[in-house]
């Protein structure tokens, strides 16, 4: 499970969404796995159940999870969940690049940052 950072400035709902997306991307949760109940996750993180419910609604609208009435929420099949995870990654990346551009970073500098990240990954 992931950890919430209450001091990060990132809304708790978004942290929950991103946490499950990351877990899916890393293979920590698989198609058909049952998600924790809204109530149990709210208790675990000491947050309002409405916050968890909103995160689950976002995950469901993105195709990452689906709900079965009376049974709970489950991770979607690998292909649709994988597509949703990649779409989210692309969207987040575009937003980050746009923000960096607005702060004055040029394409050469952004490419260097990307290449450095991949070089660091290869060393591990």
The CATH number of whichever domain residue 71 belongs to comes to 1.10.10.10
Which residue's entry shows tokens 């040029």? 106
Angle separating helix axes 78-102 and 12-25, nearest 10 degrees: 120
Say if residue 124's pLDDT is above 70: no
pLDDT tens digit sequence for 76-99: 986 777 787 788 789 889 999 999
Distances (CA, A) of 117 to 98, 109, 111, 112, 123: 18, 12, 10, 9, 10
The answer to the question of residue 71 being in a domain is yes
The answer to the question of residue 6 being in a domain is no
The answer to whether the beta carbons of residues 18 and 53 sit under 8 Å apart is no
Say if residue 16's pLDDT is above 90: yes
Domain that holds residue 66: 12-123
Q: How many domains does the chain have?
A: 1
Q: Model pTM?
A: 0.73
At 71, give phi and psi (nearest 5°).
Answer: -120, -30
The answer to the question of residue 92 being in a domain is yes
- Write down the mean pLDDT value for the chain: 91
């Amino acid at each position: 499970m992931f950890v919430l950072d209450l001091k990060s400035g990132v809304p708790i709902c978004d942290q929950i969404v991103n946490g499950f997306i990351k877990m899916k991307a890393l293979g920590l949760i698989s198609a058909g796995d049952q998600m924790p109940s809204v109530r149990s996750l709210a208790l675990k993180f000491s947050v309002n159940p409405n916050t968890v419910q909103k995160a689950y609604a976002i995950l469901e609208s993105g195709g990452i999870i689906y709900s079965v009435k009376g049974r709970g929420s489950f991770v979607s099949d690998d292909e649709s969940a994988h597509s949703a995870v990649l779409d989210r990654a692309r969207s987040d990346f575009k937003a980050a690049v746009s923000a960096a551009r607005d702060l004055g970073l040029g394409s050469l500098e952004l490419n260097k940052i990307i290449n450095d990240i991949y070089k660091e990954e290869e060393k591990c």
